Structure 1
Amino acid sequence: MDDFLGIYLRDQLAMGVLWRELARRAQRNNRGTELGDVLDGVATAIAEDVETFRSIMDRVGARANPVKTGLAFGAERLGRLKRNGRLTSYSPLSRFEELEFLAMGIDGKKQLWTTLRDLAGLGARLPDIDFDHLIDRAARQRADLEPFRARAGTEAFTRATAGGSSGAAPRGARPR
C-alpha cells in the first residue's frame, strides 16, 4: 500500500472518531427533542461509517494508528471545556457549534468517500463497497441537520445581539 494513502486513511479515521463522539454528545445534549431524534440517526450512521471505514482500511492493509485516534478522542473531550457563554449549562451557542462542527464533518466525510472512490481508486479495488451510497447517505445526513443548524445559529446570535438568554431551545428542538 502507498505510504501517502496509509497516512491519509489514518488521519481520516481519527477525524471520523472525533465526529462520532461529537455526534453522540450532541445527541445526548438534545435528547427528548426533535433535534435529538435526528441526531440519534446521524450519530448511529456516523458510527456505522467509522466501522465501514475501518473495514476498508483492513482490506487495503492500512493499520489504524492508536495514537492518532486517541488524540482525536481526547480532542473531542477537551472541546467540552470551551466557553459557551454559560458556566455550568448547555447554551444556545453550544448547540449551534455542535451542529456547525457536525455539518463540517459530514461534508468532509462526503468528500472522503468521493476521494476514495475516484482519486485513490478504491472504487475499482473494492467493487463491493458502494461509495455512491455512502456519498448519498452523507448528503442526507447533512440535509437532515441543516434546518436545525440554521435555527440554532439564529437562536444563538439573536440572543447574543439582544443581550438576553432565556434558555429555551430553538424551534424544532422542543421537548416532546
Structure 2
Amino acid sequence: MEPADDRTLLGIYLNDHLAGAAAGVELARRVAATHDDPGGRLRGLADDIAADRGALLSITMSLGIPVRRYKSMAMWAMEKAGRLKFNGRLRSRSPLSDLLELEAMRVAVEGKAACWRTLLTLADDEPDLDAAELRVLEGRAQAQILLLEELRVEAAGKAFRGTGAADDTGPAA
C-alpha cells in the first residue's frame, strides 16, 4: 500500500467536512423548524450554516478536489436516522431533545471553525485559498458558537429546572 500524498489527504479531509456539513445543514434546518424561535435566530443560523457548506463546496472545487457526494448522502441519512432516539416521552417532544440537538450543533460548528483554521494554515501555499474569506468564515463560526452556547444554556434550564436559564450557582444548601 502506497502512502497518500498531501493532495489526497486534503481531498479526504475536505470531503469529510462536506459530509459533516450536509448533516449539519439538515440538523440546523430541523432545529429551526421545531424549536421556539421568536427572534428568528435559529432560522438565521440555519441559513448561515447552509451558506458555510456552500463556501466549503466552492473552496473544494476551486482546489480541483473531486467532491465525493456519497459521503454527504451517507451523513444526510445518518442525520435522519439520528432523529429516532428515546427521549423519555412517547407522544411529545422532550426538552432534553432540544438540549441534545443544540449541543450537537455546537460540536459541529466547533469542527467547522477548526476546518477554516486548518485551511488558513495552508493559504500561503495554496493560491486558490483566500485567507481573508477564511478569516470571515472562521469569525462567523465563532459567532455561531456564541449563539449556540446561549441557546444551549436556555435549553438546559428548561430541561432540568423548567426555567429559561440554567443556574450556575450549584445546588441549594
Which ranges of structure 1 fall in alignment gaps of 5 or more residues?
160-169
Quote the sequence identity (%).
Answer: 36
Query: What residue number does 1:171 align with?
Result: 164
Letter in 1 for 2:64: G
1:29 paired to 2:40 = no
Letter in 1 for 2:31: A
Distance in 2 separating the partners of 1:153 and 1:73: 27
Say if 1:116 and 1:123, in contact at 8 Å, map to a contact too.
no
Q: Deviations over 1:94-117 (max 9, x none)?
A: 100110001111111111100011
Single out whichever of 148-157 and 48-57 deviates more from structure 2: 148-157
RMSD: 2.1
For CA contacts below 8 A with separation 6 or more, give which structure has more relative contact order: 1
Say if 1:92 and 1:152, in contact at 8 Å, map to a contact too.
yes
Letter in 1 for 2:152: R
TM-aligned CA distance change 1:136 to 1:122, over 3 Å: farther
- TM-score, reference length from structure 1: 0.83
4+ runs of 1 displaced by more than 4 Å? Answer: 119-124
Aligned residues: 160
Query: What residue number does 2:24 align with?
Result: 19
Query: What residue number does 1:117 align with?
Result: 120
Q: Give 1:130 deviation, angstroms.
A: 1.1
Query: What residue number does 1:72 align with?
Result: 75
Q: Give 1:145 deviation, angstroms.
A: 1.9
Say if 2:99 and 2:155, in contact at 8 Å, map to a contact too.
yes
Single out whichever of 72-81 and 56-65 deviates more from structure 2: 56-65
Q: Give 1:90 deviation, angstroms.
A: 1.6
Q: Give 1:67 deviation, angstroms.
A: 1.5
Query: What residue number does 1:46 align with?
Result: 49
Which ranges of structure 2 fall in alignment gaps of 5 or more residues?
1-5, 166-173
TM-aligned CA distance change 1:108 to 1:32, over 3 Å: closer
- TM-score, reference length from structure 2: 0.84
